[in-house]
Amino acid sequence: MIRSRFLFLPAIVVFVSLPMCWGIPVLAADTTECFTVGPTDFEMYLSFEGMGRPTAEQALGQQVVLGYGLTEHLSGYFSTTLSADGNLVHTGTETAAGLYGTPLDGEHLDLDVFLGCSTDGDDHFTTGPGLELNWDAAPDLAAWGLYARSGLAVSGHETADGFGRTTDLKLTLGCYWTLAAGQQLLLEFDGATEDHPSHLHGTQKEWSTGGWALGYNVDLNDTMELLTQAYIDIPEDGEDTGFGLMVGFIATLGTD
């Protein structure tokens, strides 16, 4: 089965709130795999987030990713993301690039590591490392498996007292079931640290629960994969429950 590369969590919220955490492109719920050697990967994703909330709190997003397999176990990528709120007024653009590789590639246990960066139109730059650990009950994703993904997002900020750094942690836990050849069902849960106001220290780190994502991925043919995902954002601090939908396509290009 063609395997999509990264995570789209929160399904669409990340387009406008925590985009491209640690510089990794924000894509569909799935596990990670390096690209075939050469300029072999093209991906496009469309998303709508915030159903059940006021229009101004909703978001539309589109992301395009180009991937290049440098070696069998090392790949690079470049992505661009366009977003807008539900009124199509407040827009945003973000680009990201980076590398990721697979230092451990076994029949039942895989380890992937990432290093990337991203920037948006507001001169906001984010960088940092990440990793993903996968356990597969059977080789080649033939049955079911578990995975955990984490990453650090490091960015700078300017205050009246000078300059500082903000470091946030994102964590995702997921599992997959291979329903049949070329078909997978995935379930993920995520969260992240965020800065919150503090009377004593100005701001302090607090854990923020993200939500649940359910994905269904299917091979359309030998070179094209369709990804779909539904997401529910767990409300906190009196906010409304939000729902999101995503659809994406992954094309594996030939190198001949």
Residue 77: pLDDT over 50: yes
Residues 79/103, Cβ–Cβ less than 8 Å: no
User: pLDDT value at position 225?
Assistant: 94
Percent of the chain with pLDDT over 90: 57
Closest CA relative to residue 226, chosen from 236, 215, 234, 211: 215
User: pLDDT value at position 21?
Assistant: 40
The amino acid occupying position 186 is L
User: pLDDT value at position 13?
Assistant: 32
Distance CA 192, CA 179 (A): 30
User: pLDDT value at position 3?
Assistant: 43
Residue 215: pLDDT over 60: yes
Candidate from 103-107, 233-237, 240-244 with smallest mean pLDDT: 233-237
DSSP 8-class letter at 4: -
Residues 175-203 pLDDT 10s: 999 999 999 999 999 999 877 655 445 56
Average model confidence (pLDDT) for the chain?
Answer: 83
User: pLDDT value at position 214?
Assistant: 95
Taking residues 229-247, report their average pLDDT: 89
Residue 213: pLDDT over 50: yes
CATH number for region 13-252? 2.40.128.130
Residue 173: pLDDT over 80: yes
Residues 107-147 pLDDT 10s: 999 999 999 999 986 778 899 999 999 999 999 889 999 99
Residue 51: pLDDT over 80: yes
User: pLDDT value at position 239?
Assistant: 81
pLDDT tier for residue 237 given thresholds of 50, 70 and 90: confident
Residue 103: pLDDT over 80: yes
Residue 28: pLDDT over 80: no
Residue ranges of domains in the chain: 13-252
User: pLDDT value at position 18?
Assistant: 34
Closest CA relative to residue 60, chosen from 6, 13, 4: 13
Strands (E), the chain: 38-51, 59-71, 74-85, 91-105, 109-120, 125-136, 144-159, 162-180, 183-198, 202-219, 224-233, 242-252
SS3 (DSSP) at 87: coil
Is this model's pTM higher than 0.75 or not?
yes
User: pLDDT value at position 135?
Assistant: 96
Distance CA 31, CA 215 (A): 12
User: pLDDT value at position 196?
Assistant: 60
Residues 6+ apart with CB under 8 A from 202: none
